[in-house]
Chains A and B, each alone.
Chain A
Amino acid sequence: MSDTYSKISDSVNKFKNKLKKDQNTGDNVTSAMAAELTIISTVLISAIMLRHLNIILTVLIILGLGLYLSTNTPIIGKIRREQNDSLDRMTFYVILTLAILVTTIYWGIIN
């Protein structure tokens, strides 16, 4: 009897804890949607600046970006996951940026 009681009690507690951790309040959902729209709009507007390089390239990139962003929503969840406080991820992006930066500057532009 006590076993059954403890099993029920444990499952209720687990359920309660799950609910407690889930902080999807109205505020948070609205914020996530606002963040989603901000990312999509700013990335697309930023891409328009490529017109200073080549108009056709700009059109293609915007179409590609539009397609990618619209088929991958919600994108904010992915961004949050990639930008957490894990040292592994931070180091990965730091090294990646250094590699891309040096490659672009050293080999990409001078040759």
Chain B
Amino acid sequence: MNDLIPLMVIIPIIAAILLNLFNKNNSTVKILSFVVAIVLPIIPLLANYGTYYFGGHAPLTDYGTFLSLFPNSILNTLHIGITYSYGSMQQILIFFLFIIAFLAILTTIGERKKISGTYMFLMFMGLASVVAMLLSDDIFHLYIFFEIVIIAQVGIVLASNHKEKYETAMKYMILGSIGGPMLLTGIGFLLALVGSVNITDIVHVVKNGLINSYSPIFLLSFGLIFFGWLYSVGLPPFHTIKSDMYSKATPSGSALLQTLSVIIFISIGLAIFRIYNGISYVGTFIIFFSLAAMILSISMALTETDFRRIIGFLAVGELGYLGIGFGIGTKLSLTAALFQGLNEIIITALLFIGFGTTLYLSKTSEINKLGGLIENNPKTGVMVLIGGFALAGVPPLNGFQSKVMLIQSALDKGFPELAIIMILISIVTFMTFIKIFHSIYLKPKPKDLIIEDNKIPKSTTFTMGVLIIMCIVLGLMPSLVVNGFNAFIGGLI
């Protein structure tokens, strides 16, 4: 069933095009997006692990008759066409990605009377792009989809009602005009040096010493690709604009934006790790920028008064944990990083959608103007509280499991300082969350606060319920996903 592998990209793209065509027909857009969103999570469960060669261009090793033409040659293993690799890591992440996308789409349908086909187009295009990034073994192919997902992210922000959305989107695009080309230039240097854009081929060439790992061009390609990665995921100096993007989108849009960012983080991060693992200081660079993201984001989150911005900063700060896992570079740390990435997708979706209900009822996101919402909204309040506990790493929720693994991996590698910082940041994250939770739900209600008599849509409550179940199940039974991640990383190192 390897033919199902490209369908994980093709189906969302076709759905996106159709939704854009039926833009004006509200009910068609709703039905089509719902049906596609519910079908998508089934595909990764049915697909077999393996590789898919576009155009049937398999390496020569797959055709025994050709092997005699180039005996013992590197040409036999070279990948001629675009290759998709599908393993346990891709299966887990794509499955959960499709589930989160389904929940985000369900929430959007529930909260809006009229659904824009163009908005759904952007959601599905973003989804298809990150799935392609996860599957692709071709770094140029990865770059193409990276650019598409950036445009989709900007579009998702533009679809909100926020008055500053155009300014933020424009700033993101301007900064992208620095980050994107740098990434492409880095890939260009790599191509010039190795003669291939297939990651497995590049790794093969580097590991067999066919190029000098410390040659200026190879090092420069690392610097440029690394810089592009910082832009794509929102690590410093891009953390301010990334959190700004999250705060300007609709709640379900923000949930999807963060999901897309985490998947970009993992796919480009793994490519960097595989190609440049031989350079001794790569881990140091990743750890430095991850620590900066954690420290700067948490300190900014503490001093903000807009809860959407606070969650945005917390989401960016949490990416630092993933980075530390990649930077430490051991089997345990990489497994923990992937697990943390998955947890972050679930938890931040829960928080964006949960706190989004406050915006839905009060039309303000300024915590100084809010208060007493626990009276109007007790169920949601409790659900958000559980989400906050998971974010801060309170047992027995999923965030606790992945953070403990990360701390353990830092201690094993001989970096107790990293372990201490991760614990400190978790404590401060908890404090920040409690601050916004108190301000929104527990503080006495301000006299001038008008709460609309709208009921929270059932789809939103359902979404939050499913996300909480995921947090609890993954917290109690982490082996459900950790074994899959571990097997994938085992094949990588």
- Residues of A in contact with B (beta carbons under 8 Å apart): 23, 25, 27-28, 31-32, 34-35, 38-39, 41-43, 45-46, 48-49, 76, 79-80, 83-85, 87, 90-91, 93-98, 101-102, 105-106, 109-110
B240 surroundings in chain A (CB, below 8 A): 83-85, 90
A91 surroundings in chain B (CB, below 8 A): 174-175, 178
Contact A45 B421 (CB under 8 A): yes
Contact B368 A25 (CB under 8 A): yes
B303 surroundings in chain A (CB, below 8 A): 28, 31-32, 35, 76, 80
B285 surroundings in chain A (CB, below 8 A): 101, 105
A25, A39, A41, A90 interface centre (most CB from chain B within 10 Å):
A90
A46 surroundings in chain B (CB, below 8 A): 291, 295, 417, 421
Nearest CB in chain B to that of A102: its residue: B223
A-B contact count (CB 8 A): 116
Contact A48 B417 (CB under 8 A): yes
Contact B227 A97 (CB under 8 A): yes
Known A-B contacts A94-B175, A98-B227; the reply to A49 vs B418 at CB < 8 A is: yes
What are 17 contact pairs spanning A and B, CB under 8 A? A34-B302, A35-B300, A38-B424, A39-B295, A42-B294, A45-B420, A79-B296, A83-B239, A83-B300, A90-B175, A90-B237, A91-B174, A91-B175, A91-B178, A97-B237, A109-B219, A110-B214
Nearest CB in chain A to that of B431: its residue: A34
Known A-B contacts A45-B417, A94-B175; the reply to A101 vs B299 at CB < 8 A is: no
- Residues of B in contact with A (beta carbons under 8 Å apart): 168, 171, 174-175, 178-179, 182, 214, 216, 219-220, 222-224, 226-227, 230-231, 236-241, 244, 281, 285, 291, 294-296, 298-300, 302-303, 305, 368, 415, 417-418, 420-421, 424-425, 428, 431-432, 435, 439
Contact A87 B424 (CB under 8 A): no
Shortest beta-carbon distance from B25 to chain A in Å: 38
Nearest CB in chain A to that of B428: its residue: A38
Contact A106 B420 (CB under 8 A): no
